[in-house]
């Protein structure tokens, strides 16, 4: 498995409610993406940054999805150029289900 985290610096003065409404309005766009297992949204406690954490089946699936057009669209939506971090994910613990998911 492969994890990607995108971090966006939010515009000064952008209300948390506006961020949440944008998330609610666009989250459905991530349903059914080939190779995407799970996506998390996070807002820093001080409200200055947004993160998107994506768990992918593999890096190829992530790289196929993150086109230059996608990055430009996200930069426009959040008014900042995002920073990308990648890491391999050898194990996921599904605590509530008491289940371990190992990378293939």
Query: Across-strand partners of 85?
Result: 5
pLDDT digit string, tens, across residues 85-104: 999 999 999 999 999 999 87
The confidence score (pLDDT) of residue 103 equals 83
- The residues of the chain scoring below 50 in pLDDT are none
Domains of the chain: 2-102 (3.30.70.100)
The confidence score (pLDDT) of residue 104 equals 75
25-to-29, 30, 54, 74 alpha-carbon distances in Å: 9, 11, 18, 14
Q: pTM for this one?
A: 0.90
Nearest to 5 by CA among 35, 46, 39, 43: 39
Tell me how far apart the alpha carbons of residues 70 and 89 are, in angstroms, rounded to a whole number. 23
* Contact call for residues 50 and 8 (beta carbons, < 8 A): yes
E strand intervals along 10-98: 36-43, 49-56, 83-88, 91-94
């Amino acid at each position: 498995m492969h994890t990607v985290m995108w971090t966006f610096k939010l515009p000064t003065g952008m209300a948390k409610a506006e961020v949440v409404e944008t998330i609610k309005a666009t989250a459905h766009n991530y349903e059914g993406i080939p190779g995407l297992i799970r996506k998390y949204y996070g807002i820093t406690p001080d409200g200055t940054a947004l993160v998107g954490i994506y768990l992918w089946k593999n890096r190829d699936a992530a790289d196929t999805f993150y086109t230059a057009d996608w990055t430009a669209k996200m930069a426009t939506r959040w008014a900042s150029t995002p920073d990308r971090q990648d890491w391999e994910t050898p194990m996921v613990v599904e605590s509530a289900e008491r289940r371990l998911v190992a990378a293939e």
